[in-house]
Structure 1
Amino acid sequence: MIRFALICLTICFSLQSIAQQIHSHNDYEKPEPLTAAIRNRAGSIEADVYLVDGKLMVAHEKSQIKPGRTLDSLYLKPIATLFAQNKSRYSAGGSVTNERKYTFQLLIDMKDNGVEAIRELEKAVAPYRTCFDRTMNPMAIQLVISGNRPPIPNWVDYPAYLLFDGRPSELYDDETIKHVALISDSFQNYSRWNGEGELPERDRETLKRFIKRAHHDNKPIRFWGAPDNPNAWKQLGKIGVDFINTDQVEECAKMLK
């Protein structure tokens, strides 16, 4: 009976690890930044960040920066507040919701000054460390650095709570790959499919080879610039895309249920 239970548990964890999840693309542009993504149980939430006068400002373009829209005010502090509200016997350090297993990654797309911006990020995270460090709290939010990243050989020098968004063209040694959270690439590098009808067979096979290679290294996959409609979400899920990149979080969540 015990052996059977362990087998079932292993299967459940395996299914959970490959479950298709939502990546809330440019989440800060949504009517309800962070809140809507959490409500719809997104597995990944994206914020574009510029370092301006020592502050981590959230915006798609530098010209669109607005006073007060900082990474701290839009994401770090609200997440810390949720953790404080959701402490329980299951998670003494708190969690982002009252669900025992739900957490996500906060993908921070550094638009410039990557090394300096990460230095400021470490300072900003310090007051909320238990909310963003899984060595301290298994339910912590995983911070992932994308965009303007430091040189790859230096990734091993950063705190363990900071991981990086990898690329298929990059080579990682056995130690560095431990600091890679996922592999991302432009969909346009593999296909020009617009999301209507069937994904062309040739493109499907090309994508599946790339996905298989990443999965062999136990890394999930995300494509930016992929078609963003229900038909595309379904077909990308079928070939093994882990994070569905979408601007339509609520609609995508309904389809994935």
Structure 2
Amino acid sequence: MLRILLSILLVILTLSTSASFAQKIHAHNDYEKPRPFADAYEQRADFIEADVWLQDGKLVVSHEKPKANAPTLDSLYLKPIVKLFQQYKDKPSSDRDYTFGLVIDVKDSPADVLPKLLTLLQENLPYFNRAANTKAVQVIISGNRPKVDTFLDYPLLQFDGRPSEVYDQETLQRVALISDNFRSYSQWDGTSELSDLDRDKLKRVIKRAHSDSKPIRFWAIPDNPTGWKQLKKLGIDVINTDKVAECVQAMR
């Protein structure tokens, strides 16, 4: 009887320290696509990513250091998002369950970029404040992030966490997901079998994220259907892809 009770307790503890998340898709480098934002939005991507720089006092979108007259974050993303909320009456879509995270991959100093970003968001606060509207677009800071102990200094924003970082409980609430470079754990190309050694390394970091009740994403994954499906089976919650439409078709 004691052995049975101990087994039950172990199962309960395991469940309480793990997390279960619906499969999500991250539109990597979305701004490089023929129809920035629109394609990822139409495919119902869960996270949509833009690389952001500060140029002549404006936030602009570019993969490399921006050239003159680079498109602004406001024109490519924020204004289209605002227009959707105005069209659908405080929702981003006619689909009542759909919203998404706008991932800002900061390429310049966060001390310079984030205050300007917050000013832009505050101009349309109802659409970017998820504390007040559960369908609001959550803005998530990745790339050059501020120091962990300053996360709480930036209202409206959440952050892309890392497995190597340690968070207190209050700061953990400002972490939207945990991300890391897949190549730090494996060189798997998505065609052969993933080795047991690499699988174990990945499972450990996945378990650590889930123990904090956070979904996990890896960038630089094998970006093909076999890779996506194997990583989903492994427990990776957010599939990072440059092929959003193909990934959606394969995964959902």
- Fold match (TM-score > 0.5): yes
How far apart in 1 are the matches of 2:224 and 2:67? 29
Preserved contact between residue 113 and residue 148 of structure 1 (Cα < 8 Å): yes
Distance (whole Å) between structure 2 residues aligned to residue 78 and residue 232 of structure 1? 32
1:88-108 per-position Cα deviation (integer Å, ceiling 9, x unaligned): xxxxxx111101111111110
- Preserved CA contact (<8 Å) 1:58 1:65: no
| Distance in 2 (alpha carbons) for counterparts of 1:169 and 1:151 | 13
Report the alpha carbon displacement of residue 128 of structure 1 after superposing the two structures with TM. Answer: 1.3
Structure-2 residue corresponding to 1:116: 112
Compared CA separation, residues 17 and 202, structure 1 to 2 (3 A): closer
* Comparing 122-131 and 225-234, the one that deviates more: 122-131
- Is residue 32 of structure 1 aligned with residue 27 of structure 2? no
Amino acid at match of 2:169: D
Paired residues of 2:84 and 2:92 also in contact (CA < 8 A)? yes
Q: Contact 1:57/1:65 (CA < 8 Å) preserved in 2?
A: no
4+ runs deviating over 3 angstroms: none
Q: Percent identity?
A: 55
SS for the counterpart of 2:102 is strand
Q: 2-side partners of 1:38 and 1:242: how far apart?
A: 19
- 1:46 paired with 2:49, answer yes
Corresponding residue for residue 249 of structure 2: 254
SS of 1:168's equivalent in the other structure is coil
For 1:30 and 1:199, locate their aligned partners in 2 and report how far apart those are by CA, in whole Å.
Answer: 30
In structure 1, the residue matched to 2:3 is: none
Aligned twin of 1:136: 132
Q: Which runs of 5+ in 1 are unaligned?
A: 1-15, 88-93
TM-score, L = length of structure 1: 0.88
* Structure 2 Cα separation of the partners of residues 175 and 135 of structure 1: 15
Equivalent residue number for residue 90 of structure 1: none
- 2:79 corresponds to which of 68, 77, 80: 77
C-alpha contact 2:62 2:70 (8 A) present in aligned 1 = no
Corresponding residue SS for 1:163: strand
**Alpha-carbon deviations, 1:135-181, whole Å to 9, x = none?**
2211001100111111111111211x200111111111111111111
RMSD: 1.3
**Structure 2: how far apart are the matches of 1:129 and 1:208?**
39
Give the TM-score normalised by the residue count of structure 2. Answer: 0.90
Q: Out of 176, 179, 186, which is 1:181 matched to?
A: 176
Query: Which residue identity does 1:196 align to in structure 2?
Result: T
Aligned residues of 2:61 and 2:70 also touching (Cα < 8 A): no
Instruction: Specify the alignment match of 1:216 in structure 2.
Output: 211
Residue 99 of structure 2 corresponds to residue 103 of structure 1:
yes
How many residue pairs get aligned? The number is 234
Structure 2 gap ranges (5+): 1-18
Conservation of the 8 A alpha-carbon contact between 1:110 and 1:117: yes
Structure 2 residue aligned with 1:154, among 147, 150, 162? 150
Partner of 2:61: 58
**What amino acid is aligned across from residue 24 of structure 1 in structure 2?**
A
